[in-house]
């Protein structure tokens, strides 16, 4: 029976540690870039014509007139976020110009225009 060389075990463990560290760093950087791409959507938006207020939080929760909407992010494009609500309807947020946001509500088959609320 042959004895295991302790250096072989140490080298093997260090290789495993360096690979797992590299994977963790790349995953963390991917999350950072995703959250920064949502930054233009985050904030409070108002539509005075329908007396609507939409707030989008940092973790992409949607509040309509201060009530949380149960929705999940389904798709993310450069100028569009697609959410699906708890009833299965889509809510499409489009960001074309700086102070405006367009939301298409599939349930109502209607498009709403919002302006960023300033403090």
The pLDDT tens digits of the residues spanning 9-18 come to: 655 666 566 6
* pLDDT tens-place string over residues 67-76: 999 999 999 8
Domain span including residue 61: 41-116
Residue 103's closest CA among 83, 78, 118? 83
Six token digits for residue 80: 């569009």
End-to-end alpha-carbon separation of the chain, Å?
Answer: 76
Give me the phi and psi of 17, to 5 degrees please: -65, -40
Q: What is the mean pLDDT of residues 88-115?
A: 91
Q: Are residues 53 and 91 in the same domain?
A: yes
Identify each DSSP E strand in 2-119 by its residue range.
Answer: 43-47, 52-56, 62-64, 67-69, 71-77, 80-85, 90-94, 100-105, 110-116
Q: What pLDDT sits at residue 22? A: 58
Q: Are residues 28 and 77 in the same domain?
A: no
pTM across the whole model: 0.66
Per the structure, how many domains does the chain have? 2
Q: Are residues 99 and 53 in the same domain?
A: yes
Q: What pLDDT sits at residue 28? A: 46
């Amino acid at each position: 029976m042959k004895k295991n060389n302790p250096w072989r075990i140490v080298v093997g463990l260090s290789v495993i540690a360096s690979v797992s560290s590299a994977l963790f760093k790349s995953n963390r950087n991917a999350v950072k870039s995703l959250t920064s791409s949502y930054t233009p959507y985050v904030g409070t938006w108002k539509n005075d014509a329908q007396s609507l207020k939409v707030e989008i939080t940092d973790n992409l929760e949607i509040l309509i007139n201060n009530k949380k909407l149960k929705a999940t992010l389904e798709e993310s494009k450069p100028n569009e976020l697609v959410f699906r609500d708890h009833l299965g309807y889509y809510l499409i947020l489009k960001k074309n110009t700086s102070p405006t946001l367009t939301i298409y509500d599939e349930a109502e088959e209607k498009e709403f225009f919002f302006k960023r609320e300033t403090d």
